[in-house]
Every structure is written in C-alpha cells, then in structure tokens.
Amino acid sequence: MTKFKLRLYITGRTPQSQRALSNLHEICRADLAGRFEIEVIDVLENPTLAENEKILATPTLVKRLPEPVRKIIGDLSDRSKVLLGLDLETLDPEGAHDHQRTH
C-alpha cells in the first residue's frame, strides 16, 4: 500500500488555517486511513522551510510522496480537487466534478 507523506503549510491560527487542517484530517480519515503522515508547518515560525519549498500561498498542501510532488493550494474545501491532486480521483470527462465520489 502506498504511503502518503503530506506537508501542510499554514500561517498562524487563522480561520483559513483551521479550515484547511480539519478538511485535511477529514479527507485522510476517509480516503487514506492508516497510510498517511502529516507534517504541519507554520510559515510564520519557519519561513526558511517555506523559502526552500517556494511556498507563496497559504494554506498549501504538498504531496511529497508518492511522486510526483504536487502542491495543492487553498483551504482544501474543494474535496474533489484535493483528491485529484492526491491522485486518488480522476476527472470525469463528462464534467461530473460537482458531485463527490469516493473509493
């Protein structure tokens, strides 16, 4: 089973940061139970890490493993986009990206 190494960049304890955290936990619980590892980085406390990974926006979720590395920008409220970014979902060619599907 593929192990997911995720890193979430946030800035302080803003509502947006909180939302991103709870959305991420929710998605991981539902779709990645038992095979994920989350590291949360507060940019205000650790700007050098953000510099190295060239983070512009927060919240940003970085999927470090499995490759390819991918950045998912936003508070992760668009669940289907997050799943797409994590390669857990493919876009329906019929444009059915409005409703959510789970594996």
| Residue 84 lies near other proteins (rule: CB under 8 A) | yes
Eight-state DSSP code of residue 33: T
Q: Give the closest residue to 9 by CA, choosing from 70, 88, 46, 23.
A: 46
Distance CA 35, CA 48 (A): 28
Determine which residue in the list 6, 8, 55, 89 makes contact with other proteins, applying CB under 8 A: 55
Helix (H) or strand (E) holding 4: strand 4-10
| Residue 32 lies near other proteins (rule: CB under 8 A) | no
- Give me the least distance between CB of 84 and other proteins, in Å please: 6
Task: Tell me which residues touch other proteins (CB under 8 A).
Answer: 9, 11-12, 14, 16, 19-20, 23, 43-44, 47-48, 50-51, 54-61, 68, 70-79, 81-82, 84-85
